[in-house]
Amino acid sequence: MKRIYSVLVENKAGVLCKVAGLFWRRCFNIDSLAVGTTDDPEISNMIIVSSGDRRTLEQIEKQLNKKLDVIKVKTYGEEEAVSRELMLVKLRYNRDNRRDIMENSQIMGAQIIDMSKNLMTIQICDTPERVQIFLDTLRTVSIVEITRTGTLALSKCRDASR
């Protein structure tokens, strides 16, 4: 079972280390971690994706709420949030596989953002599952380098009249 934690924290040195230390000390797994400032430069938002049984996921939320630098913790199930991940992948290509790479990119909504005689860089921004599917389609070519942002998430919009 996976859970997404949106953690508002004070934007100061050492906070990321303290939160990561909490996961390390308790042997909680971090599947993904992304941090960025909010509209208030004094506050950052950590999006942490973790997996475990129900008890472990509840314990993570309780422990996060105990941290002094933590302002607010929101939790989402995968179905309760809109999530995206960005991946950049550099590939070595040749005449024989160039067309397949381009077609797969188009089908998956990925874009070729840089290209040379035998290398291309592709970006895809989609759900973590679709990013992984795209990566799996590229396993037959020579991948030179990959970088991924980790999951970013917001709660789904709910109509206030409901």
pLDDT in tens, 90-126: 999 999 999 999 999 999 999 999 999 999 999 999 9
Side chain identity, residue 67: K
Q: Residue 51 is which amino acid? A: S
Q: Would you tell me which CATH number, out of the four given (3.40.50.720, 3.90.800.10, 3.30.70.260, 3.30.300.180), belongs to the domain 2-76?
A: 3.30.70.260
| Of 51, 10, 148, 31, the residue nearest 18 (C-alpha) | 10
User: Could you say which residues of the chain have pLDDT below 70?
Assistant: 159-162
**Domain 2-76 matches domain 84-154 at the CATH topology level:** yes
Domain boundaries of the chain, sorted by first residue: 2-76, 84-154
pLDDT at 140: 87
Residue among 111, 2, 88 nearest 49 (CA): 2
CATH architecture of residue range(s) 84-154: 2-Layer Sandwich (3.30)
- CA-CA distance, 51 to 93, in Å (whole number)? 36
- What's the pLDDT at 159? 64
Query: pTM of the predicted model, to two decimals?
Result: 0.81
